[in-house]
Structure 1
Amino acid sequence: MVPMSPAMTFTGQAISIKSRRETPRRSRKPFTIFACLKQESARNPAPAVSPLKERLLSGIDNLDRGLSIDPDADTMTPEEADVEDLIEELEDNYPPQVPTKDPRNSGSWRLKYTSSSITRYFGGVTGLQRLLPNASVGEIIQEIDSEGGKCMFSEKISFEVPIVGNEVCLDIRIEGRMRAASEERQLWEPESVKCGVFSWFADSWKTFRAFQVADITYLDDELRITRGQTGSVSVFQKALSDDDKVG
């Protein structure tokens, strides 16, 4: 059975979240000095990108996309700190050129890691699993169509039906519009949440705020890194199989 719209429930829960800023990026360098960084890298060659990506993805693998980490923790774990350092190396040494117009930005992207305290608090993009018995969040896919101005998240949630004990899998979709606000920044405006024949308006869901503003700080054929307004970072890996694609 699909639960009723959790919009009002989530609104109340979101108010109870401690007023804690996202873990700020250390030694944050604004986009305006990327040209200076490129000049400096000419004197000091950047490390090879492939080993950095491999180390980053390896370090992320054991963090369950960051969803199992306490959202109220005041300090990062050593594993998180290592991941943050690797992310910064990629961002600082390989800044993207006008990523919002880069065709590689479009496609299906699997969420591999996020430091967003909102997403960690709700345990996913929608937080619906908090309303279901013995529920768990599966893959989270972001589908971007930059040319068409569309963006959709897909979140798979599995839960156990009480008494019967059968497992049910829900495919939740959040559809919305996406537009470029600058050369690096994209704005996502969620419009609807859909699950089977059920549909709800998305404007009152607090959980989506973590992904509504995204500065693209790294982009290639396989990896995409974005930062939110409060410094939260999200790492996406290209979803290559047809089963991973949304829609």
Structure 2
Amino acid sequence: MSSRIRAGLFLFLAFCLVQATESFTLPFSPRQAPSFVGVPCNKLDTNGRLIERRSNGHGINLILASSASNKEIVSVEAEDIFLQNCDSDGLMTKKMVQNLDFVAEMMKEGDLIQAELDQLWEGAPKFPDSDEERIDVDSFVQIYRDIDDLFEDDEEEKEEKSTVSLELQDDSNNDDDDELKNIFQSIATDKGVLSKQALLRWKEVKSLLDDGLFDEEEFDGIWKSLPKADHGIGIAGFLKFNKELDNLFEFDDEEVEGGEEESAEAEVTAQVDTTTIIAAEELAMIEDEDLSPAELFNALADSGGLVGKDELKRWGELQEMLKEEDLMPLELENIYDSIAKADENKLNKEGFLALYNKIDSLFEDEEGDDEPAVAEPAASGTKEQLLATVASFNSDEERLPCGLESTELEQKYVLELVTALESESSNMVRERQGAIEMSDLAGEWELLYTSSAAMAYNKGLSGLGGSFPNGKFGGLKMKLIASKFLTDVEYTERINVTPDTASFDVSVNGSWELRSSVSIFTGEPSIALTVVPERVTYGPTSTRADHWKSLGPTNMLDVSYLDDNLRVMRGNTSTDSILIFKRTQ
């Protein structure tokens, strides 16, 4: 074949190849590309690239990496919106997209028309679903970007309006979302799952339930709508829960009446109400009329179990006292500063009880100044304050009863109250110059509190509470018998054991008498209660009491206060050692 023929044939084949290439088209357009279902595990690698793990629905996982750019930042913002509004399957319908705040706002203003939204929806890959068409997070990001692109070539005024609309959506949520994510991490499990019961125990929810602002039926309704994961909810469900909760507290603009000033105020209020439930919690006042000091502390405490100045703003009675100027801010500041703090310059339970009692004592002093001729009300106030303080110690189930595990600060405060009570006219020891009869003490008594170092060391009277396996001190009763022929004493100490059926009593029997003397510390007349223990009995065991050294510190105590139903005794050689008994019979 000649070279001319070969060249002609070559040109003909080349022409055919070009024609075939120009007539070839892709089997799908970019808008119709196969859908890849996104899995919410996007992150940045060490090189600052965005890593996405996706599945194409056929068991093939793809790892896509790209440099972190402005578009990827927008994608993260879009993903946050998607996670807060998707359904329980992690998908969204067209109606759900259309109902998004920023989309609905643009359509209302005419910046986005229905036809444009329909076109964007048609162009987004759909999740393979037999029911209503739905999209995953990747398709939503595409729609989000496409909406933004619609305004790039628009007029400047419209472009600014759309930008403001998107920024409002971001600004109203970003700060709160960050805080909510931190809260979620603190209350969720290590696997990032929050159970229904744990969510009910979250103090923000619990406070709303306790205040009657939210009921369990409403909670159950929201819970059912949340996306679930491993018998609970993840961060997406938690964010959506708070969004749904916010919707319950939004003000209806139609209910706001009045002039322009009221309308402006309503607008500000509505903006405030779009914050998370944390803001509502900060405004919720705690009314303490029916709460003990310990219960009030639990109601006010933050997630770390502490009360600071911000938490005190929710104490209703305290704020009322400040408003009425019954308590001056400087007075409160001085009292707060005088109390030892825990972490973060906040008060733990011990410090809060000290603050509570110091504030309360200010008003007891005022009552005494206003009515100097009437001593009984002041005495009653001091006594009630002492009893309330001791009761708050005993309400703490994590500590041994009767103050055996009280702190130095608590002991110091009780000592101050006891000293004040001893000076009151209700004190029979003081009024009678120590002339107390045995019949005045006869009866059955129960130990409320002691600061005895010996009892604290032995974890009770007998010491069995600290040495018996699985046993601990459960309380102490004292029976004093006084007749013409008998002066018997019987201590009954309860030892709680696990299981409860194994619990038992320890009995200490002996005799007692009263001895009049003069206090070597105060020079005042005093009366000493002397006990001579004889036998210690528990279960089948009975032994001589002189073998029990733990009984020694309680064998001689000064009766420093006595009325019809309360008895205070101090150590004969250490007046800081106190035992407080309440008459039971």
Q: TM-score, normalised by structure 2?
A: 0.31
Equivalent residue for 2:406, pick from 37, 60, 69: 69
**Aligned partners of 1:84, 1:128: CA distance in 2, in Å?**
28
Cα distance in 2 for residues equivalent to 1:106 and 1:192 = 21
Aligned-pair CA distance for 1:208: 1.0
Which residue is 1:226 aligned to?
A: 569
Distance 1:166-1:141 versus aligned 2 partners, 3 A rule? closer
Counterpart residue identity of residue 108, structure 1: E
1:239–1:99: structure 2 CA closer, same or farther, 3 Å change rule?
farther
Are 1:187 and 2:187 matched, yes or no?
A: no
Answering whether residue 447 of structure 2 is matched by residue 111 of structure 1, we say: yes
C-alpha distance in structure 2 between counterparts of 1:166 and 1:222, whole Å: 31
Name the residue aligned to 1:196: 539
Q: Distance in 2 between matches of 1:118 and 1:93?
A: 29
Shift of 1:228: 1.4
What is the CA deviation profile of residues 19-44 of structure 1, one whole-angstrom value per residue up to 9, with x for unaligned ones?
xxxxxxxxxxxxxxxxxxxxxxxx88
Matches within 5 A, 1:62-211: 62-63=392-393, 64-69=401-406, 76-77=408-409, 79-94=410-425, 95=427, 96=429, 97=432, 98=434, 100-101=436-437, 103-147=439-483, 148-160=486-498, 167-182=501-516, 184-211=527-554
Larger deviation, residues 172-181 vs 98-107:
98-107
Counting matched residue pairs gives 188
2:386 is aligned, of 38, 56, 59, to 56
Larger Cα Rg: Structure 1 or Structure 2? 2
Cα contact 2:402–2:475 (8 A) shared by 1:
no
Q: Which shows bigger deviation, 207-216 or 106-115?
A: 207-216
For the pair 1:212 / 2:555, whether they are aligned, the reply is yes
List per-residue Cα deviations over 1:131-188 (Å, max 9, x = no partner).
222212212001112332211110011213xxxx564111110001101222611210
Give the number of the structure with larger relative contact order, counting CA–CA contacts within 8 Å between residues 6 or more apart: 1
* Equivalent residue letter for 1:129: G
Over 3 Å off, 4+ runs = 43-47
Quote the Cα distance in structure 1 between the aligned partners of 2:389 and 2:500.
34
> What corresponds to 2:582 in structure 1?
237
Q: State how far apart, in whole Å, the 2-side matches of 1:166 and 1:103 are.
A: 37
Is the CA contact (8 Å cut-off) linking 1:100 and 1:186 kept in structure 2?
no
Q: Give TM-score, length-normalised by structure 1.
A: 0.70
The structural deviation recorded for 1:117 is 0.3
Alignment partners' CA distance in 1, 2:536 and 2:419: 33
| Structure 1: gaps spanning 5 or more residues | 1-42, 71-75, 241-247
d(CA) in 1 for partners of 2:506 and 2:555?
A: 18
SS in 2 for 1:188: strand
- Name whichever structure is richer in helix by fraction: 2
> Offset of 1:93 from its aligned partner?
2.1
CA deviation map 1:175-205 (0-9, x unaligned) = 0110122261121011000123321100021
Change in 2 beyond 3 A, CA 1:88/1:131: same
Query: C-alpha displacement at 1:45, in angstroms?
Result: 6.0
CA change 1:102–1:48 in 2 (3 A) is: farther
SS of the residue 2:511 aligns to: strand
Q: Using the alignment, how far apart are the partners of 2:454 and 2:565 within structure 1?
A: 26
User: Structure 2: how far apart are the matches of 1:220 and 1:135?
Assistant: 34
Distance 1:69 1:82, change over 3 A: closer
Moved more, 44-53 or 189-198: 44-53
Q: Would you say the 8 A contact 1:174–1:193 is kept in 2?
A: yes
Contact residue 109 and residue 143 of structure 1 kept, 8 A: yes
Q: Secondary structure at the match of 2:411?
A: helix
1:99 shift after superposition? 5.5
Q: Distance in 1 between matches of 2:373 and 2:412?
A: 24
> Is the 2:466–2:473 Cα contact (8 Å) retained in structure 1?
no
Which SS does the other structure have where 1:155 is aligned?
strand
Q: 1:188 to 1:53 in 2, by over 3 A?
A: same
- Evaluate the alpha carbon distance shift between residue 140 and residue 166 of structure 1 in structure 2; reply closer, same or farther with a 3 A threshold: closer
Residues 44 and 204 of structure 1, relative CA distance in 2, 3 Å threshold: farther
Distance 1:223 1:234 in 2: 11
